[in-house]
């Protein structure tokens, strides 16, 4: 058969054949533009009360909430795999959630106890503390609510107290995820005032009001509480220029690094941020993105491992310095092999 195939005259290529460098594995390795290493991966952990306790999350198969002692073990595993930092999220017991979210600044809350336990057992790993009220408030909103309105400046006052408690407990990076205006500057000033000038702020600068957060809300126990949505503070998914304004503002207020969230559907924002600002940029491969890969793989629709690596490389290609991913430990171990 083949001998009858007509060979087209390709003179117009002028010798330019892009397939040349793709022909062999060694050549593909040589021209590869992006790299993924364990140092690119930040691992989010969900914390619960108890001892030697882990609970499954229905919408995030493979991810478990862990009690503090198991978080310490997870931190050791992460350190050994070369992961530079963990992002912690508490599932606050129901009876401690309240309208004013006061548990957020209780120096003995679940978050603070986790920070100090990991800090003393595994001092080599960085600890990123999420600051927002949704994990402590009775309505699952990230801010204080009055007459259906999310109060900006009052929320910022509470966030400052929460960030200071986390700083004292051992946080290395304060990560405000609430999208209130002015919170980065307010937290920076408060940290500096208490001698925490070395603590970093990683701001969730471009955070969208997203449907991809569903499984996370189950994980931290806010899903069933939340009334309405978060569109008066998180961004409209139709917008892109506005994300640059948010990032610009947070850098001006003193953010050391910024985050884009969700991840894969917002890689255009990561790229624009990379092209416009000279700060470290992180992207969050959020719970819904994790769930989509897991459920599609379980249905036999995609190759799980291949899709995971492809998704993480996409972040690097877009210009992210690192990715918060529920796959961090699994992938870091795989890369280290
Ligand atoms: C809010 C917060 C959320 C996530 C991280 N921090 C949820 C929300 O804004 O409703 C989502 C992360 C994920 O979906 O994996 N404090």
Domains defined along the chain, listed by start:
36-336 (3.20.20.70)
Burial class (CB in 10 A: 0-12, 13-18, 19+), 223: middle
Q: Measured between alpha carbons, how far is 123 from 330 in angstroms, rounded to an integer?
A: 22
**What residues pair up with 151 in beta bridges, in sequence order?**
144
233 CB less than 6 Å from ligand 1? no
- Confidence (pTM): 0.96
**CA 31 to ligand 1 center in whole angstroms:** 37
Q: Measured between alpha carbons, how far is 177 from 266 in angstroms, rounded to an integer?
A: 17
pLDDT confidence of residue 1: 55
Mutate to test the pocket of ligand 1, among 137, 140, 177 (most ligand atoms within 8 A of CB): 177
46 CB less than 6 Å from ligand 1? no
pLDDT confidence of residue 280: 98
pLDDT confidence of residue 228: 84
pLDDT confidence of residue 62: 98
pLDDT confidence of residue 10: 93
253 CB less than 6 Å from ligand 1? no
* Residue (of 315, 246, 250, 319) closest to 285 by Cα position: 315
As a whole number of angstroms, the longest Cα–Cα distance in the chain is 81
Q: Given the structure tokens 């961090």, which residue do they identify?
A: 328
Measured torsion, CA atoms of residues 25, 28, 34, 35, in degrees rounded to the nearest 10: 20
pLDDT tens per residue, the chain (337 residues)? Answer: 557 899 999 999 999 999 999 999 999 999 999 999 999 999 999 999 999 999 999 999 999 999 999 999 999 999 999 999 999 999 999 999 999 999 999 999 999 999 999 999 999 999 999 999 999 999 999 999 999 999 999 999 999 999 999 999 999 999 999 999 999 999 999 999 999 999 999 999 999 999 999 999 999 999 888 888 999 999 999 999 999 999 999 999 999 999 999 999 999 999 999 999 999 999 999 999 999 999 999 999 999 999 999 999 999 999 999 999 999 999 999 999 8
213 CB less than 6 Å from ligand 1? yes
Q: Measured between alpha carbons, how far is 244 from 250 in angstroms, rounded to an integer?
A: 10
**CA 216 to ligand 1 center in whole angstroms:** 6
Q: Measured between alpha carbons, how far is 269 from 308 in angstroms, rounded to an integer?
A: 21
Could you tell me what percentage of the chain is helix, strand and coil, using 3-state DSSP and rounding each to the nearest 5?
A: 45, 20, 35
Active site residues: 207, 261
| Residue 108: strand, helix, or coil | coil
**CA 9 to ligand 1 center in whole angstroms:** 56
| Residue 207: strand, helix, or coil | strand
3-state secondary structure 232-295: CCCECCCCCHHHHHHHHHHHHHCCCEEEEECCHHHHHHHHHHHHHCCCCEEEEECHHHHHHHHH
Specify the residue with its C-alpha closest to ligand 1, atom 5. Answer: 177
**What residues pair up with 149 in beta bridges, in sequence order?**
146
**CA 51 to ligand 1 center in whole angstroms:** 25
pLDDT confidence of residue 223: 85
């Amino acid at each position: 058969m083949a001998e009858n195939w007509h060979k087209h005259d390709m003179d117009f290529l002028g010798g330019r054949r892009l397939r040349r460098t793709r022909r062999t594995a060694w050549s593909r390795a040589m021209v590869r533009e992006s790299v993924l290493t364990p140092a690119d991966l930040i691992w989010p952990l969900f914390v619960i009360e108890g001892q030697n306790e882990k609970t499954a999350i229905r919408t995030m198969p493979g991810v478990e909430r862990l009690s503090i002692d198991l978080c310490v073990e997870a931190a050791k595993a992460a350190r050994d795999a070369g992961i530079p930092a963990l992002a912690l999220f508490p599932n606050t017991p129901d009876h401690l959630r309240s309208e004013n979210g006061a548990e957020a600044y209780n120096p003995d809350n679940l978050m603070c106890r986790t920070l100090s336990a990991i800090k003393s057992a595994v001092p080599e790993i960085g600890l990123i503390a999420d600051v927002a009220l949704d994990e402590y408030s009775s309505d699952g909103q990230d801010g204080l609510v009055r007459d259906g309105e999310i109060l900006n400046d009052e929320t910022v006052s509470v966030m400052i107290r929460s960030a200071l408690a986390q700083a004292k407990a051992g946080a290395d990076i304060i990560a405000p995820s609430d999208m209130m205006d002015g919170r980065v500057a307010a937290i920076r000033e408060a940290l500096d005032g208490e001698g925490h000038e070395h603590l970093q702020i990683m701001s969730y600068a471009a955070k969208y009001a997203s449907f991809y957060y569903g499984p996370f809300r189950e994980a931290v126990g806010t899903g069933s509480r939340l009334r309405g949505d978060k569109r008066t503070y998180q961004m409209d998914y139709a917008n892109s220029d506005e994300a640059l304004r948010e990032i610009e503002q947070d850098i001006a207020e003193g953010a050391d690094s910024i985050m884009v969230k969700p991840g894969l559907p917002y890689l255009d924002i990561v790229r624009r941020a990379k092209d416009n600002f000279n700060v470290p940029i992180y992207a969050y491969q959020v719970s819904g993105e994790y769930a989509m890969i897991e459920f599609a793989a379980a249905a036999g629709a995609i190759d799980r491992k291949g899709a995971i690596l492809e998704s993480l490389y996409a972040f690097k290609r877009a210009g992210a310095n690192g990715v918060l991913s529920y796959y961090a430990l699994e992938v870091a171990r795989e890369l280290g092999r």
